[in-house]
Chains A and B, each alone.
Chain A
Amino acid sequence: KAGVTQTPRYLIKTRGQQVTLSCSPISGHRSVSWYQQTPGQGLQFLFEYFSETQRNKGNFPGRFSGRQFSNSRSEMNVSTLELGDSALYLCASSLLFSEQETQYFGPGTRLLVL
């Protein structure tokens, strides 16, 4: 099976712009989670989608949003970019979303905001 894929791998934006990142989960996986990784804060949970519904959300401002399509592919959007949004954005997929489910991570999208 192909792993989790994320596009683009690298992105450079300027403050105030918006960005959309894409994640294709492992075939058959219905849950997609997004994480932000920075050197200062480490990996932090953004949100999780299952069957096109957001079921869980982390402590991030409303500028961060996402959605999931019927084929389980997911996108996340960040509006009005700030310098502090520079980070590695990781997507993870699992069959469901439970304590016993392994989450498989993609390689991430590295976003640089100038």
Chain B
Amino acid sequence: TQLLEQSPQFLSIQEGENLTVYCNSSSVFSSLQWYRQEPGEGPVLLVTVVTGGEVKKLKRLTFQFGDARKDSSLHITAAQPGDTGLYLCAGSGNSNSGYALNFGKGTSLLVTP
């Protein structure tokens, strides 16, 4: 059972466009993390959000944690080809899984010049 649902599954956009990726769950998490994974590599942590309603910015990336700590979004402004990759959200602290990370299946982003 996938606790975290990500949408869209695939996204192909042109350089300069904006995009939003969603991560939804019916479960409450103590914290939620966003990772980016490039081909042949392991996931690399982008951000951790822990407080309901929290917004964090990382250059052109804006992360938001829902008030109820069940959902999150990642917004990229003026996407660049270097943003291409698999974006994964992962929740931890769910009562059923302890501290193990529960991952969504990911959003595969392709940014073309």
Q: Is the CB of B99 within 8 A of A98?
A: yes
Please, which residues of chain A bring their CB within 8 A of the CB of B99? 48, 56, 97-99, 101
Q: Is the CB of A4 within 8 A of B42?
A: yes
Which stretch (A11-19, A38-46, A71-79) binds chain B?
A38-46
How many pairs, one residue from A and one from B, have CB atoms within 8 Å of each other in the complex?
59
Q: Is the CB of B45 within 8 A of A102?
A: yes
* Known interface pairs A106-B42, A107-B40, A107-B42; A99-B102 also in contact (CB < 8 Å): no
Q: Is the CB of B42 within 8 A of A105?
A: yes
Interface residues on A, range: 20 to 34
* Nearest CB in chain A to that of B103: its residue: A43
Please, which residues of chain A bring their CB within 8 A of the CB of B11? none
Interface of B is mostly: loop
Q: Is the CB of B100 within 8 A of A99?
A: no
> Closest approach, in angstroms, between the C-beta of A14 and any C-beta of chain B?
24
Interface residues on B, range: 20 to 34
As a 0/1 sequence over residues 81 to 106 of chain A, the CB contacts with chain B under 8 angstroms (1 = contact) are 00000000010100001111111111
Q: Is the CB of A99 within 8 A of B92?
A: yes
Which residues 1-46 in B have Cβ within 8 Å of A in the complex? 2, 30-31, 35, 40-45
Q: Is the CB of A107 within 8 A of B41?
A: yes
Which residue of the partner chain, among A41, A90, A100, contacts B43 with CB atoms under 8 Å?
Answer: A90
Q: Is the CB of A44 within 8 A of B31?
A: no
* Nearest CB in chain A to that of B45: its residue: A102
Please, which residues of chain A bring their CB within 8 A of the CB of B2? 41-42
Q: Is the CB of B100 within 8 A of A33?
A: yes
Interface-centre pick from B40, B45, B99 (highest chain A CB count, 10 A): B99
Report B's interface with A, CB cutoff 8 A. 2, 30-31, 35, 40-45, 48, 50, 88, 90, 92-93, 97-106
19 contacts between A and B (CB under 8 A): A35-B103, A41-B2, A42-B2, A42-B105, A43-B43, A43-B88, A43-B101, A45-B97, A48-B99, A58-B100, A90-B43, A99-B30, A100-B48, A103-B45, A103-B101, A105-B42, A105-B43, A107-B41, A108-B42
